Amino acid sequence: MAPTDEQLVEAFQAGDVSAFDLLVSRWDRKIQGAVYRVVGQTEDVRDIAQEAFLKAYRALPLFKREAKFSSWLYQIALNLCRDRLRRRRRSLAEVSLDLLSESGELPLATSGPSAVELAEASELARTVGSAVWALPEEQREVIVLKEYQGLTFQEIAEVLGLPVSTVKTRLYRGLGVLRECLEQKGIRNPAPVPAPAP
Amino acid sequence: MESKKDCDPGAMLDVLYGEADALTERNLRSHQEGCASCRAEFAALRGVRRSLGAWTLPARLQPRLERRPAWRPLLAAAAGLLLALGASLGLSGSELGFRNGTLAFRLGRGQDLERLLAAQEDRHRREMEELRAALLHPAAQPVGSDREEVLRAVRRLVDDSQRRQSRVLETRLADFQQQAEAQRRYDLAQVGASLSYLEGKTGLEMAKTTELMGHVIQASQKR
């Protein structure tokens, strides 16, 4: 039977450094997936995932096993994503000022795929991806963790350091915004389920 | 007819994501029987979830092995050399920058190192003053022992300085080693993932070839 994350963390803390290799191979793809869906550009994904694991490696000897390892790792990765998005927004704001003087319009998107990525995706995937990237960051994070990473509400609350009720509110709002956005783009939801016969 | 205030989005989400207990699920179902807007909302959210499922990761995020061009090892060697140079500059606390239109290089970086060097400079200056005073007033010193005294002082200074430098160097080396080890482990795991992907792919191709061969043999036997 494969060792659990907690057993691997324990082994690492007891001096078995190779336990970290297993943790990386177990979580790398998932972390890259989450990072991609939050920051939206593949060239940043490997950097951020790698940095997250480097940070985890450094901090793992002091990791208190009160939280789940995966929640802690997601927390590190999301913090790095936020930093990256903040930097991108800042540089975009600087560019925007230049552009504003020329065209009078501000570019709005701070995250999103490159043209090549858009061309590769299917029509529906493109529409959905763009809709998710257009969400406010806090709603996008919750939707990514719930929908694509399959975390429970409790786990998301741990990762984001929020009460479960706030997590649900953000998710509910995010799904609502997505629903409107997708409907506007012609993606219709199925007709309401009829009430069961009495 | 249920009233709108009985609608519970939290319970709806629990049911939608399979996290509701039996009682919550039963309550929601029975509420939805009389609440058309809740039924519509639930169906719409389910539809959004279905659409979200269409958004898959791009192919370039899949692990893969590429053919290595011949210049790659050279590039790797050059990168290694630059890394080593950078690391040694970093370890020595140096700083390279572009100031006032010119390239500026400065030994010593970071407040700790600057403080350390400033303290060291003060100490040296003090000791130099003492030595100078001792040379100017030889009567104050025991005759015949001047030269040895100075030599001893200089040797002490050199020893102190060496000890301090190696302490700083050791600390920085430890940091650097830890970072390099983490990087190495991450790279190894990446290579492992790529290899298992390749193994899987090769296995699939083998199976396809075997299947094709089976068909060919069967066809030739029929003839």
Question: pLDDT for A27-42, tens place per residue?
Answer: 999 999 999 999 987 7
The reported pLDDT for the residue numbered A105 is: 44
Is residue A198's pLDDT more than 50?
no
A17/B189 CB distance under 8 A: no
The reported pLDDT for the residue numbered B109 is: 52
For residue range B82-95, list pLDDT tens digits in order: 777 766 666 666 66
Decide if B24 contacts A168 (C-beta within 8 A). no
pTM over 0.80: no
Residue B96: band (very low, low, confident or very high) from pLDDT cuts 50, 70, 90: low
* More confidently predicted of B106 and B216: B216
B60/A42 CB distance under 8 A: yes
Q: Directed axis angle between helix B22-34 and helix B9-16, to 10°? A: 120
Decide if A62 contacts B223 (C-beta within 8 A). no
* More confidently predicted of A93 and A48: A48
ipTM of the complex: 0.79
The reported pLDDT for the residue numbered A81 is: 95
Closest-CA residue in chain B for A189?
B47
Residue B130: CA count within 13 A, CB half-sphere: 12
Interface test with A, best of B14, B28, B31, B52 (most A CBs within 10 A): B52
The reported pLDDT for the residue numbered B110 is: 53
B21 at interface of A, judged by CB pairs closer than 8 A: no
- Least Cα separation, residue B165 to chain A (angstroms): 25
For residue range A126-143, list pLDDT tens digits in order: 889 999 999 999 999 999
Specify the amino acid at residue A138. Answer: E
% of chain B exceeding 90 in pLDDT: 17
Angle at A142 between CA A138 and CA A145, to 5 degrees: 140
What is the Cα Rg of chain A in Å? 20
Which residue from B32, B42, B189 is facing A24, i.e. has the nearest CB? B189
Contacts with B188 from chain A: Cβ below 8 Å: 21
Residue closest to A85 by CA, chosen among A35, A151, A129, A29: A35
For residue range B11-49, list pLDDT tens digits in order: 999 999 999 999 999 999 999 998 999 999 999 999 999
Residue A121: band (very low, low, confident or very high) from pLDDT cuts 50, 70, 90: low
Over range A12-20, report the average pLDDT.
Answer: 92
A11 at interface of B, judged by CB pairs closer than 8 A: no
For residue range A72-114, list pLDDT tens digits in order: 999 999 999 999 999 888 877 766 555 554 544 444 445 555 6
The reported pLDDT for the residue numbered A34 is: 95
Is residue A192's pLDDT more than 80?
no
Q: How far is CA A110 from CA A133, A179, B2, in A?
A: 9, 21, 43
Closest-CA residue in chain A for B190?
A25
For residue range A143-163, list pLDDT tens digits in order: 999 999 999 999 999 999 999
Which residue from B13, B44, B190 is facing A168, i.e. has the nearest CB? B13
A125/B55 CB distance under 8 A: yes
Closest-CA residue in chain A for B43?
A192
B52/A143 CB distance under 8 A: yes
User: What's the burial of B159, exposed, middle or buried (CB within 10 Å: 0-12/13-18/19+)?
Assistant: exposed
* Residues of chain A numbered 139-198 and touching chain B (CB < 8 Å): 143, 146-148, 152-153, 165, 168, 171-172, 175, 178-179, 182, 187-196
Q: φ and ψ at B187, to 5 degrees?
A: -65, -40
Closest-CA residue in chain A for B45?
A175
Instruction: Show the tokens assigned to B69.
Output: 């061009």
DSSP 8-class letter at B110: S
Over range B126-133, report the average pLDDT.
Answer: 83
Q: How far is CA B218 from CA B208, B211, B214, B222, B223, in A?
A: 15, 11, 6, 6, 9
Which residue from B33, B40, B63 is facing A196, i.e. has the nearest CB? B33
